[in-house]
Structure 1
């Protein structure tokens, strides 16, 4: 499928609004594609979003539960986190899996790359399936109060379909793995 390569947006000026170790926010004065002046805000992420769907030999996976500050509610997710730009994303995935679940995997497969909320951010996400699991001690960060549950994959798929799992990385990874399972490509 072909798409235009010409950018119809014109940047008139930009102003940094906010910066911390994880994100920065910039406000742009623009000329929009219809030729009218406007503003656009962009959140730039300083990490790549990483998600891992660990699968054992019996098709069980591991969900991580935690209270999400931004949502003000509890969330069940796959192991996930941020990988610094310039670092191999697979190394970040291995670190996150060990950190959150205590698991190490011998078999890794990248299953999806996607952009998250691309109307306001440039955040890239990479999803992996991890197999050949061995249990070690989890190493959560001090900001993480995590609960880890081993759950049959079919149950996790049902949870996505019923809206019990709403985290976009988890939903995308679980649906992708279900499709791969149906297509015999897992």
Structure 2
């Protein structure tokens, strides 16, 4: 009679170490070979292993231990995922349609544009005042007179105020672009969520 070759599982079971009342461990050694033993060398513990009962059945899987860098990367990914879910939740709470987002965007942009126009009006007023004081100082110099400390101080103050006002205009214009881009992202994500909901409903109805 022809003898059958034992299966790999049977071979593994037949070669299990005999441990009275204990448990077995299956791990991969440095050569890449799978080892089953009643203990694990310390250098292989961190790479993960399986705990077997006396019948060779897996009763627990111990995953590899992460390095500090890997743990930090996982934590960052989990935090990013949590923040993304929270943004989606807030998006759905605040808006019902894409048109709602567009209306909110238009209101926010209009408010910023009004602020920019006010700043630009202030710039014109400051520029006119500065030009007037500078003309007065130039007239004094042409007469061979000193412009006076108070006049020079006023010119300096106006120049600083004008520069500060100009910086606020630049900041508001940058904010205008940022707000516009932020709402564009919200609209794109809201449309993605709607598509996902529609796809899920189609699957539930058996249309896909």
- TM more than 0.5: no
Structure with higher Rg: it is 2
Name the structure with the higher strand share.
Answer: 1
Name the TM-score class by shorter chain.
under 0.3
TM-score (ref. length: structure 1): 0.16
TM-score (ref. length: structure 2): 0.15
Higher RCO by CA contacts (8 Å cutoff, separation 6 or greater): 1
